Amino acid sequence: MISFLGAILLLILGYMFYGKFVERVFVINDEHTTPAYAKRDNLDFVPMSWWKGNLIQLLNIAGLGPIYGAVAGALYGPAAFIWIVVGCIFAGAVHDYFSGMMSMRHQGAQFPALVGRYLGKYAKAFINGVSLVLMILVAAAFTAGPAQLIAQQTSLSFIIALILIFGYFVLAAVLPINRIIGRIYPAFGAVLLLMAAAVAVALLFSDKPIPNVTVENLHPGELPIWPLLMVTISCGAISGFHCTQSPIIARTMKKESDGRKIFYGAMITEGIIALVWAAAAMTFFHGTAGLQGALEAGGPSGVVTDISSSLLGSAGFILAIITVVLLPVTTGDTALRSSRMILVEVLAKFFNMESKFKLLFVSFIVAAPTFALATIDYTFLWRYVGWTNQVTATFMLWTAAMFLLKNQKLHWIAGIPAVFMTGVVCTYIFYAPEGLNLNYSLSMIIGFSLTLVVAGWYVSQIKKYKNAKQNSSATHAA
C-alpha cells in the first residue's frame, strides 16, 4: 500500500515541479494570439476553457488504454509502478506537452507536419503513414469490443452495432469540435476519473494487501520486462497516440499558460488511473498467476468487470459497462478526427479542402478501412498497435529534442527519453512475435547497436547547432 500511495504522490509532485520546469524550458507567453483566435473557423479552431480542454484531452488520450494496458502490464508485478511513474513524469508528460504546445506555436499543425519541420521530409512521409495506420488500428481495436457488448445486451447484430458506431464516428469527425466533443466529452472524462477514484478508495479499504514495489519480474510466462513492459503499458506512461490527439486541443487553447494544465496535467492524471488499475489487477486476483488466469478466462474487459462489480457492487458493474462501451468509442472517434485532419493537410496541397462535402469524403476514406479491421480479432490488432504506437512516440520525442536544440534550449529533457524509447522500439521489433521473433539476446544486441547509431546522430546534431551558434557569434563580433 505504501508503494501505491507513494507512486500517486510522486506523480502529483511531478506535475507540480517537473511540469513547471518543462514549461519554463519551453517559455510560454500569454501575449501570443493562439490559433483558436487567429484561425478561428468554428470547426476545429474554436476557443475553449482549459478545464474542458483538459477533460477532453484526457478522454481522447485515455479511453481504455490506461485500464487495459495497466491490467496487462500488472502481469510483471509491482515493477509496473516504477515504469508508470518514471515514464509518465519524464517521458509521457513531456511528450504530450511538447506535441500540444509545438502544434499551438505552429498554428495548430498536425504531428507529421511538426516532424517534417524538425526531422526532415523523409521522416514526415514515413510518419504520415505510421500515424494514419496507428489511428486506424486504434479506432478498429477500440470499436469491436463495444459493438460485441451492444450485440450481447440487445437484439442488434454485431454488424448493425458496428454500423451505428461508425455512423457516429463520421458525424463526430466532421462536426465542429464544440458541437459534440466539447459538450459531452468533459462529462465522459469525469466518469473515467470517478471510476478510477472509486476503485482506488475501495481497494485501500479492502482486506487485500496491495503489493509494494520490487524490481523482480513476476510475469507467470517469464516474459522479459525490457522492452515488453514499456510497450504493454503505453497509455499511463508514454503513448505515441497522444501526439496525434494533442493538436485537436491545441487548436482550442485560449492562452499558452493553459498548456501545462491541459497536456502535462492530463498525462499525469492518466498515469494515476493506470496506477489504480495496475494495483487493482495484481491485488484483486492475489498475484500475477491469478491475474493471468482471469485474463485467459475473460480478457481485459472481464477483469475490469470482475474488479468493479466485486469492489463497488451493482454501481461498479454499471460503471464497468459504461466504461467498456463509451470510453473506447470516444477514443475511436477522435482517432478518426485526427486522421481526417492529417489527411486534409496532405491533400490540401492538391485540392481545395474547404467544402464540407470534401471533409465528409476524407472522413469516409479513413473510416472504411477502420470498419473492415474492426470485424477481425481484437487481440490480433492490439499486437500491432503497441509497436506502432511507441515508434510514433519516439519520433515525437526526437522532434521535441530538435525543436529545443534549434531554439538553443535544454534539449536533454526530450533527448534522453528519446534515446530510451529508441532502445525500446529497436529491441522490441526484433524480439516480439509480431516482429522478427528473434532470440532475446540477439535482439538486445541489435537493438542496443541501433540505439547507439541514433545516439551518434543526436550527438552530431548537437555539434552542428553548437558550431552554427559559434559561427553566428563570431560573425556578429566581427
- State residue 358's pLDDT score: 66
The mean per-residue pLDDT over the stretch 168-194 comes to 79
Would 141 be classed as within a structural domain? yes
- Rounded to the nearest angstrom, the gap between the alpha carbon of residue 102 and the centroid of all alpha carbons in its chain is 17
45: left (phi over 0), alpha (psi -120 to 50) or beta: beta
The mean per-residue pLDDT over the stretch 152-179 comes to 80
For residue 356, pLDDT over 70 is answered with no
75: confidence class by pLDDT, cuts 50, 70, 90: very high
- Rounded to the nearest angstrom, the gap between the alpha carbon of residue 473 and the centroid of all alpha carbons in its chain is 41
- State residue 377's pLDDT score: 65
Would 422 be classed as within a structural domain? no
Among the ranges given (181-185, 268-272, 375-379), the one the predictor scored with the smallest mean pLDDT: 375-379
For residue 285, pLDDT over 60 is answered with yes
* pLDDT, tens digit, 9 for 90 and up, residues 388-418: 999 999 999 999 999 999 999 999 999 999 9
- State residue 138's pLDDT score: 79
Would 281 be classed as within a structural domain? yes
Would 451 be classed as within a structural domain? no
Would 418 be classed as within a structural domain? no
Rounded percentage of the chain residues whose pLDDT exceeds 70: 92
For residue 211, what are the contacts with CB-CB under 8 A and spacing of at least 6?
3, 77, 78, 279, 282, 283
Q: Which of 135-144, 174-183, 315-324, 420-429 has the highest mean pLDDT?
A: 420-429
345: confidence class by pLDDT, cuts 50, 70, 90: confident
Whole-prediction pTM value? 0.90
Report CA-CA distances (Å) from 206 to 199, 200, 211: 10, 10, 13
Q: 156 and 162 in contact (C-beta within 8 Å)?
A: no
For residue 173, pLDDT over 80 is answered with no
For residue 360, pLDDT over 90 is answered with no
Would 478 be classed as within a structural domain? no
For residue 475, pLDDT over 70 is answered with no
Would 175 be classed as within a structural domain? yes
How far apart are the C-alpha atoms of 23 and 17, rounded to whole Å? 10
Would 219 be classed as within a structural domain? yes
Per the structure, the complete domain to which residue 210 belongs is given by 2-381
Mean pLDDT of the chain: 87
For residue 263, pLDDT over 90 is answered with yes
| Cα three-residue angle 243-248-253, rounded to 5 degrees | 110
What CATH number did the domain enclosing 312 receive?
1.20.1740.10
For residue 334, pLDDT over 80 is answered with no
- Quote the cell numbers at residue 29: 507567453
* pLDDT, tens digit, 9 for 90 and up, residues 80-111: 999 999 999 999 999 999 999 999 999 999 89
Domain count, the chain: 1
